[in-house]
Structure 1
Amino acid sequence: MTPQDLVIRMLPPFSGWLALAALALPGGSPPRGAAVALFLAVGPGAALVRICGPALRSRRAEPPDEPGDAAFERHSDLLEQLVLAVLLSVSAAILVATALIATQALSGDRVLLTLTLLTTLAAFCPSLRALPASGTAPRTAPGAAPPTRKGSTL
């Protein structure tokens, strides 16, 4: 692992710990709100997307039939990862808040602390492996439909 990979891996948990530190600022201050909102919007999801990264990159997007943008595949994959990170972050926040409501322990600080701890844990998880090369067919359950390519209409 290169130092650059380590920095990228540790950005989401660092933003969570920064958001926790920002809680010491006066309530309603813009830096406090920005740090917390940025972490809640992207932090946990970015850590989870990093775990799934190699598996996601193994199935590239298909460009449209007509000639057009040469960087379609790269831009499409980046957009997919960004949207996935935001949706996973929102989902994680909802799940943590629901669990804290069920235990009658809900507070903003606890939600933020729990998400920061989960994000830190996810940063230390290894990445998932990609499926075998496209020359070999991936295993499917008997009677299951064959997998479709990412970006296809089927």
Structure 2
Amino acid sequence: MTPQDLVIRMLPPFGGWLALAALALPGGSPLRGAAVAAFLAVGPGAALVGVCGPALRSRRARGPVEHRDDHFARDSDRLERVMLAVLLSLCAAMLVATVLIAARAFSGDRVLLTLTLLTTLAAFCPRLRASPMPSTAPGAAPRTRKGSAL
């Protein structure tokens, strides 16, 4: 792992710890709100997408039939990862908040702390490997293993 990869991998947890530090600012501070909102919107999802990154990059997007855009696959994959990060972040925030509400321990600070800890844990997780592509002819039915019900 290169130092650049390590810095990129540690950006989401750093954002979470920065958002926790921003809680020390006064309640109506725009900087506090911006730091917390930015982390909640992207942080946990970016760490989770980072774990799944190699598996997501193994299957490229298919471009339109006309092939007018040479960078379709790159831009489409980038947009997919950004949207996945945002949606996973929102799902993680909702899940943590629901668990804390059910445990009768809900507070905004606890949600932020829990998400920061989970983001830090996800940043230290090993990356998932891509599974090999099935070797079937285009348009053919996928092969099944012997004894498989499918």
TM-score (norm 2): 0.90
Q: Secondary structure at the match of 2:63?
A: coil
- Aligned counterparts of 1:23 and 1:124: Cα–Cα separation in 2: 25
Displacement, 1:135? 6.2
The residue type equivalent to 2:128 in the other structure is L
- How do 1:110-149 residues align onto structure 2 when only pairs under 5 Å count? 110-132=110-132, 134=133, 136=135, 142-144=148-150
1:93-108 alignment runs, 5 A limit: 93-108=93-108
Tell me which residue corresponds to 2:72. 72
Within 1, Cα distance between the matches of 2:54 and 2:28?
40
Q: Percent identity, aligned pairs only?
A: 76
Larger Rg: 2
* Match status 1:82 vs 2:108: no
Aligned equivalents of 1:139, 1:100: Cα separation in 2: 45
What do residues 104-130 of structure 1 show as CA deviations (whole Å, max 9, x unaligned)?
010000000000000000000000000
Match of 2:36 in 1: 36
Measured in 2, the distance between the counterparts of 1:69 and 1:27 equals 48
Q: Report what 2:4 is aligned to.
A: 4
Q: Which runs of 4+ in 1 moved over 2 A?
A: 134-144
Q: Following TM superposition, by how much is the alpha carbon of 1:139 offset from its aligned partner in structure 2, in angstroms?
A: 7.9
Distance 2:62 2:144 in 1: 22
Q: Tell me the CA shift for residue 67 of structure 1.
A: 2.6
- Determine whether 1:24 maps to 2:27: no
Q: CA RMSD in A?
A: 1.7
Equivalences, count: 143
Matched with 1:53 is 53
Rounded to whole Å, the distance in 2 between the matches of 1:42 and 1:143 is 41
Cα distance, 1:36 vs. partner? 0.2
Normalising by structure 1, what TM-score?
0.88
CA distance in 2, matches of 1:140, 1:52: 26
Structure 2 counterpart of 1:127, one-letter code: R
